[in-house]
Structure 1
Amino acid sequence: MIPYSYSLHKIDNTANFGFSADEYSRFKFGDDLVARSFGKDLADGFIRYYLADNVITDQIVVISSPYSFIPTATFAMKNYFVCQLNRWLVENGGLAVQETKVHRTITYKEDYGELSAEERLSLIGNDSFHIDKDFLVGKTLLFLDDIKITGSHERMILKMAKEYGLKNEMHMLYFAELVNKNIHPNVENFLNYHQIKSIFDLEEIIDSGNFRFNTRIVKYILNTTSSSFNLFLERRSTDFINQLYDLSLGNNYHTIEAYSKNLHLIKDYIKNNNYKLI
């Protein structure tokens, strides 16, 4: 099974990525305005370079990058990709897309973006991926991800497809792809943290009115030193703090030692705040 692969931006040097590193960094930490721009651009690129000449008549299913309870940044990009793609499909006599999810059980807390190709494959190889096989019968699958660095995620998706015996036409779509193998995979972390150097750099994104929680920002907040975390918490709304706590529990972050201290601080904050209300 060899899927069609498309990436909007090809990274062959670190002087010019073809897109804004600051915007990419904000996107990874929940800026929904950038997610909209990326999603629409990816849809337009896929239409221009593939769909316009290779019309898909089957039902299309769009599948964002795998996650457990908290969506990834790609999920936000996927929403706008779907809207833009639907407009073109319907205008050209096609069916609006369907969506489904790859369920993922994550076994690690390490920052994936700083690892080598071998370390990535070793780490992700312990995760499990699940999908509704029956829902996919006879449909064309578009798997979306924000960036392809070493291809570890793609290999896991293809491994899952083989295990489930999927015979579908498959497309792997990326906003960006590292094509120069002389560039170390940790260029991903360079992009991820290009504009985020501390927890307080998140405040502009959170207060922008275009913020969306994702796995990266939740993990980043929970992994912050207690002194900075306390100050950050004092400046957040009660709604934000409750949402942060509920998302953390939903992703089982309370079982990870590195996050336990800050989660206890959130729990105490919520308890004390509720006591004050009473």
Structure 2
Amino acid sequence: MIPYTYSLHKIHHSNNFGFSADDYSRFKFGDDRVAKKFGKDLADGFIKGFLEDNQISEQIVVISSPYCFIPTATFAMKNYFVYQLNHWLVENGRMVVQEAKVHRTITYKDDYGALSAEDRIKLIGNDSFHIDKDFLRDKVLFFLDDIKITGSHEKMILKMVKEYELKNDIYMLYFAELANHDIHPNIENHLNYHKVRSVFDLDEIIKSGNFCFNTRIVKYILNCDFNSFSIFLERQTEDFIYNLYNLSLGNSYHTIDCYSGNLNFLKNYINNKNYKLI
């Protein structure tokens, strides 16, 4: 099956993206305000660029990028994409969208955005994606992701589609896509870390009033050096600290050696706080 692919921004130059690199970086580290803008812009662009001229009468199912327990940054963007798309669908007498989840079984510490196309396939090639085939029957599927660099995640989605023998019409929707393949795939990391250079740069995002956890920020915090981690933790609220620990366990990060030191400190930090309260 050949899916229809749409990307709002096509990247042809390594220093001109069509969107703010700082905003993209903030989005990847949990800025919900930017996620709202990106999701709304993607919906508006897809409506104008495709839906206005191509009627879809079947039930649409929107599916964010695969995750285990902690959603990816795309999940926040997906929420606002759905809100904006639903407005248009209702105004045009069509059914509002449904949602589904692609479950993934493996989590890894490697920074995906720094890898080559070949290394990306090696990293996620052993992963497996799972979805509720019966729920999707006779529906049109919109798979959302924030950026397409080498297409390795798309290949994994299409591998899942083949394994589950899905016969649905499929649309792959991206906020941005690397269109110039002379640019190295690590341009993704340039975007990811454009605004965030250390764990202390996260404070502005976390305390903005528009913060939501995602896999990237949790892994980034757990992976920083111990001194920075302990200082960073002292600056955070109790709710943030508890959420960080609970999400880490939910994604089985306690089984990854490079996170174990910081996670043990986090566990003791919580236990000591509880002990003092008692």
Superposition TM-score tier, normalisation by shorter sequence: over 0.9
Q: Aligned-pair distance for 1:144?
A: 0.1
Q: Which letter does structure 1 place at the counterpart of 2:159?
A: K
Q: Aligned-pair distance for 1:108?
A: 2.4
Q: Match for residue 85 of structure 2?
A: 85
Q: Residues of 1 paired with 2:196 and 2:106: CA distance?
A: 24
Q: Residues of 1 paired with 2:59 and 2:168: CA distance?
A: 11
Q: Aligned-pair distance for 1:254?
A: 0.2
Instruction: Work out whether 1:213 is the aligned partner of 2:213.
Output: yes
Q: Match for residue 58 of structure 1?
A: 58
Structure 1 length normalisation: TM-score?
Answer: 0.99
Instruction: Work out whether 1:256 is the aligned partner of 2:253.
Output: no
Instruction: Work out whether 1:189 is the aligned partner of 2:189.
Output: yes
Q: Residues of 2 paired with 1:275 and 1:239: CA distance?
A: 17
Alignment of 1:34-49 (within 5 A): 34-49=34-49
Q: Match for residue 7 of structure 1?
A: 7
Q: Runs (4+) of structure 1 moved beyond 4 Å?
A: none
RMSD: 0.5
Unaligned runs of 5+ in 2: none
Q: Residues of 1 paired with 2:107 and 2:162: CA distance?
A: 22
Instruction: Work out whether 1:277 is the aligned partner of 2:277.
Output: yes
Q: Aligned-pair distance for 1:107?
A: 4.4
Structure 2 length normalisation: TM-score?
Answer: 0.99
Task: Decide whether the 8 Å contact of 1:107 with 1:126 is kept in 2.
Answer: no
Q: Deviations over 1:9-51 (max 9, x none)?
A: 0000012100000000000000000000000000000000000
Task: Decide whether the 8 Å contact of 1:30 with 1:213 is kept in 2.
Answer: yes
Provide the identity percentage. Answer: 74
Q: Residues of 2 paired with 1:233 and 1:180: CA distance?
A: 41
Q: Residues of 1 paired with 2:18 and 2:61: CA distance?
A: 28
- Three-state SS of the structure 2 residue aligned to 1:243 is helix
Q: Which letter does structure 1 place at the counterpart of 2:144?
A: L
Q: Which letter does structure 1 place at the counterpart of 2:211?
A: F
Unaligned runs of 5+ in 1: none
What is the aligned residue count? Answer: 278
Q: Match for residue 143 of structure 1?
A: 143
